[in-house]
Structure 1
C-alpha cells in the first residue's frame, strides 16, 4: 500500500507541469475600458449585444498607439469594428462625462477622444498613475446626432494604448 502511494505521488508530480503547460492561459488582469456611457465592450460584457471573447475581457482592447479602430487592431476583438452589429446608442448632451473603469493602473501620457474623424478632446496626465476610475468631461463642439466616439488611453511607458468605442446620440 505504501509503495502505491509513493508511485501515485511521483506520477502526479511528473504530470503536474505537463498539465499546467497544456491549460489555456488566463486573461491578463489588464487594463481599462469606458463603462459609462457604455462602450461597445461594456455592452458585450453586459450581454446587451452578443459578442465573442471580448465578453469576458472588456478591459483588454490593447494595441499600438495611433490606431483608429475600436478593436485596437486586435483580431480577437474585430467584432468591435462592426458598426452594423446593433450597438445600443446612448443619448448624451453636448458636454458629456466619460468614465473609464481600470483593472490595472498604468502611467498615463494622454487620454484622447475622437468623433467624426477629428480629435475633440485630449487630457494630459504627464505620466501620472490613475486610480481605479477616471472621468473626463468632453465637449462635442458643434457635433450633433449619432456619433461613434473613439476613446484612447495612451500609456506613458509602453508603445501601446487601450481603445474603446462608444455610440452616442449628441443632443438626442
Structure 2
C-alpha cells in the first residue's frame, strides 16, 4: 500500500471500525486523523485503557441503545479500576502504594501473594465484582434519569 492510499484511508470522514472517530470529529469539529492518532497513541502507551476509552466513547457517542444500558456498561467498565478503593489497605499499599495503575497492572501478583500470606484471594475478586456491580447500578441510574429527562422534555 502506498502512502497516498494510507492517508486517504486514515483521513476518510466516515467510520472505519465502530465510527467513534467520525462521531467525535463531527461533535468537536476536529479532523478524524487527529482523533484517530490520539486514540492510537493512547492505546499504544496504555493498552487496556486505550481500548476502554474507545469502548466507552463508542457506547456514549455511537451506540443507538438506550441510555440506561449504555451508562450501565460504562459504569461497569469504570468499576474495574475503581475496585482499588474497595480493597483493604494491605492491597492498596502493596508494592509501595503505587495507586490504581500499580494495582491494575500487578493484580495477578497481588492475588497470589495475598493468597500465600493472608489466604483466600477470592475476597479480592469479590471486591472487584462488587465494584463492577455498584458502578453499573450507578451508571444505570444516571442513564435512567437522563432518558427520563429527555422524554419529559420532548413531551
Same fold (TM over 0.5): no
**Which has the larger Rg?**
1
Structure with greater helix percent: 2
Q: Under a length normalisation based on structure 1, what TM-score does the superposition of the two structures give?
A: 0.25
